[in-house]
Amino acid sequence: MVEDYSNNRYTNSFSNYKSRFGPDGLHLFNRGTGSNILIDEVVIPVQRWSKAPRQVSIALTNTCDLSCSHCYAPKQKAILDFNLLTNWLHILDINGCIGVGFGGGEPTLYPRLIELCEYAVNETTLVVTMTTHGHRLTDSFLKKLSGKVHFIRVSMDGIGTTYENYRRRSFNELILKIKLLKDIVPFGVNYLVNSATLDDLNEVVKLVENIGASELLLLPEVSVGRGISIDESTERAMQKWIRDYRGKVRLSISETHTDGIPVCEPFEMENGISAYAHIDARGVLKTNSFVQDGVLINDVEIMDALQILRDSN
Ligand code: SF4
């Protein structure tokens, strides 16, 4: 079925939904409920496809107060300008981006984080997420952040002493910090998978269910920065664990390691830079956070930088 998308027939019926046009059809997203609707009967002409990536992750700063032995983040000092950031958020929003994820370094060390989240929530239709190590979360900080972020991800690498060997921070204190999130904002756990952390997965599932997390995102370790790639036998064991998984918490995995795993990918044709891009703390737009090269946005407008990146990949 071919529909005339130009009369906003669908968007008028779903007034709380943001529309995005792409090769897979009309994507409607409600950031209040997190609902996604893909109307794949609608054929959208190429010239009407939304120009911004569906998701953009942004490293606000390279600064971090931890020194994890497996850290991927660049260590040179860099921080993004607030006014540049709000301008980019506005442009991404009007060009059909669905959501932005703030990270770092450690995003809670970005001096104007609350103001930035407030801008994104009040002045754009973007869904705002943040990935943090969790140790700086306090009641007063979360009170200020409440209502200005839609989802928080907390990093975890093994439990107990395994975690403490990586992070040099108390695991029990981490759990107390994560529990502070419960009545403030939906949250999930980002879990590094390697030979040292794999065996803790069953315990982690019990833990995330108990503390009220809504997602467990598996991040097999990659050889970027100080990271060492997950070995083959650990990856095979992880794949088997995933196939056997029957837990209640939603399970996700990073795109780098989906081979051999049954994953749900509704956007089959919208991929590459149209699906996802990363902006590092120097303002360089990249295809993902692991690669070195990209396009410095300060030199061009963000949509021009996207086009340059698209053309070169
Ligand atoms: S892994 Fe995260 S928390 Fe640890 S040093 Fe790197 S940026 Fe900081």
| Per-residue tens of pLDDT for the chain, all 313 residues | 334 444 444 444 567 899 999 999 999 999 988 899 999 999 999 999 999 999 999 999 999 999 998 898 888 999 999 999 999 999 999 999 999 999 999 999 999 999 999 999 999 999 999 999 999 999 999 999 999 999 999 999 999 999 999 999 999 999 999 999 999 999 999 999 999 999 999 999 999 999 999 999 999 999 988 888 999 999 999 999 999 999 999 999 998 888 888 788 889 999 999 999 999 999 999 999 989 899 999 778 999 999 999 999 8
Q: CATH code at 262?
A: 3.20.20.70
Instruction: Tell me: do 236 and 306 sit in the same domain.
Output: yes
Bond into 283 cis (ω within 30): no
Report CA-CA distances (Å) from 232 to 193, 198, 249.
12, 13, 26
With b meaning 16 or more CB within 10 Å and e meaning fewer, what string describes 218-232? bbbbbebeebeebee
Structure tokens at 7: 């009369």
Cα(293) to centroid(ligand 1), Å = 21
Domain hosting 41: range is 5-48
Instruction: Tell me: do 33 and 82 sit in the same domain.
Output: no
Asked if 130 and 178 touch (Cβ cutoff 8 Å), the reply is no
C-alpha–C-alpha distance, residues 13 and 9, integer Å: 7
Q: Count CA atoms within 13 Å of residue 16 on its CB side.
A: 7
Report the Cα–Cα distance between both ends of the chain, in Å, rounded. Answer: 32
Instruction: Tell me: do 25 and 158 sit in the same domain.
Output: no
Q: Which residues surround ligand 1 with Cβ inside 6 Å?
A: 64, 66-68, 71, 73, 104-106, 133
Structure tokens at 204: 């982690």
Residue nearest to atom 4 of ligand 1 (CA): 68
Residue 207: other Cβ atoms inside 10 A? 18
Q: How many domains does the chain have?
A: 2
Q: pTM for this structure?
A: 0.93
Instruction: Tell me: do 155 and 224 sit in the same domain.
Output: yes
